[in-house]
Amino acid sequence: MAFRNPSIDALPRHPLIIGGRHEEQGGGEMLAHVYPATGKVTREIRMANADDVDRAVVAARKAFPAWRAMPGDKRRDLMFRIAALFEARSGDFAPSLISENGSVAMTAPYMGYDAAQKFRYFGGWCDKIHGRTIPMWGAPAHDHVAYEPYGVVGIIVPWNGPLFAATMVMAPALAAGNCIVLKAPDLAPYSVMKLVEILHEAGLPEGVVNLVTGAADVGEAMVAHPGIDKIEFIGSGATAKKVLTTAAQSLKPVGLELGGKSAVIVFDDADLMLAAKKGLTGAVSSNGQGCVNGTRLLVQRGVYDQYLQILAAMAGHVKSGDPFDAATVLGPVISGGALERIKGMIDRGVADGGRVVAGGERLGGEFADGFFLPVTVIADVANDCEIAQNEVFGPVLVATPFDTEEEAIALANGTEYGLGAYVHTQNLRRAHHVTRELQSGMIHVNGSGEAMQPNCPFGGFKKSGHGRLGGVEGLHEFLQPKNVWMSMVAPEVNS
């Protein structure tokens, strides 16, 4: 198999877009972006620095009064135009998505359609943001609540799904009337560059969305900047602690969507073929590099061996290959360093008593230049060991047997995370009971990701973050309530 390298001409060239101006280089360090399927450089990019962040904030603050004052129907119509253009140009995102992090061609066009859905849904809210009146007692008065935008929102998105994450935040933030400074991740910058280019092509006013591409120093400059009124961070818990520490200096509000170690609970009455197919998505979706992926398989003992046999057989048929090939199902992980880290976790998981039933070794031969690992399933993993408690962020599933319903709940809740959970059963009573007891922000019963649509709230419990994106809850993340009390007592007039 000949692995294709990305065409430079198909990749966007503007790591900075500030005040509507498309800039081919920033003032920061040079980045040699590596295509993870071949280990070769796609392009060298001069990233942003703190001065570029300041320019982006100035442009956003300048644009904010007019954007905030735009009537809801006008903003709605613009959001709908953006959605239509995303839909029409969905294929244009594919080269960027594949090149930046090894996403596969099979799923890449869906990301443009998903972006369209988010802008269309939240565009529909633009002319429906209204307050409420509150009855008063003690004195005649009229009291009302108005919902207003924060101002400038700084958005920091991760490398594993930058387009998905960016649009999940940008659509409600814009609908609410905020302006944006968006940081594209250094490891995967291209799809977010393309996103902002298309926003301006659709007619978004200059300065409403500004793009800076960079590494941690650029994110730190955004969080510390006094002109940014709120930060929305999607990424790791370790980085989130640094974000919160910096934001605390100015008491800046921060929304967090962080990691997960989501359980897939398979009861003995489940449809095992469906449960195995859905369970496999935890290793395949985003090449196993998804925060909400179901990566802990908790299987009732009576069907444990049968389930693992089905899953291992399915894993063996997952096609790894050239991400530009439409038949490829599983692409590479993001880097050589990530691959070494994942392999180390697999080895330690086996040393802790785990048993590899599928995969486990780096792919060689034609795959040797890239960062490929097949779907890996490790059975008999104790719930308290490293690989069961920590994010692997690769195509790795771990399996643990359980006996009772209550044991399954305890195992599922037995991590510091609480982002997603997946329950497979045909018993309605059990489904209601288990979902009520799970400490998780998003739960699927006999599914694997269907609720990741823009009208559903998405977010986590515990160390998976706080706040919600999606649905009316996501809209209100970017609005501040203002309470106004007005006396209805006529003033005395001096004669």
Given the residues 23, 197, 232, 391, the one annotated as active site: 391
- In this structure, the number of other CB atoms found within 10 A of the CB of residue 226 comes to 9
Is the distance from CB of 163 to CB of 99 less than 8 angstroms? no
257 labelled catalytic: yes
Q: How far apart are CA 320 and CA 208, in angstroms?
A: 40
Q: Hey, how many other C-beta atoms are within 10 angstroms of the C-beta on 193?
A: 24
- Annotated active-site residue in 118, 183, 194, 261: 183
Q: What tokens does 33 get?
A: 């972006």
Whether the CB-CB separation of 142 and 133 falls below 8 Å is answered with yes
Neighbours of 21 (CB within 10 A): 14
Residue with token string 């009208």: 455
Burial of 365 by CB count in 10 Å (0-12 exposed, 13-18 middle, 19+ buried)?
A: exposed
Catalytic residue among 197, 291, 463, 477: 291
Contact 145, 482 (CB under 8 A): yes
Extract the tokens encoding 405: 């319903």
The CA distance from 84 to 54, in Å, is 32
Measure the CA–CA gap between 267 and 229, rounded to whole angstroms.
47
Whether residue 297 contacts residue 309, with contact meaning beta carbons closer than 8 Å, is answered with no
Catalytic residue (one of 232, 257, 278, 477): 257
Task: Please give the full DSSP string across 251-274, using - where no structure is assigned.
Answer: T--EEEE----EEEEE-TTS-HHH
φ/ψ of 437, rounded to 5, equals -90, -20
Residue with tokens 């309530």: 481
What does the alpha-carbon distance between residue 50 and residue 35 come to, in Å, rounded to a whole number? 27
Asked about 183 being catalytic, the answer comes back as yes
DSSP letters spanning 202-258: TTPPTTSEEEEEESHHHHHHHHH-TT--EEEEES-HHHHHHHHHHHHTTT--EEEE-
**How far is CA 433 from each of CA 35, 292, 427, rounded to the nearest angstrom?**
46, 22, 10
For residue 453 the two structure tokens come to 């649509």
How many Cβ atoms are within 10 Å of 368's Cβ, its own excluded?
Answer: 10
Burial of 453 (0-12, 13-18, 19+ CB in 10 A): middle
Where is 87: in which H helix or E strand?
helix 72-88
Q: Which sequence positions are flagged as catalytic?
A: 183, 257, 291, 391
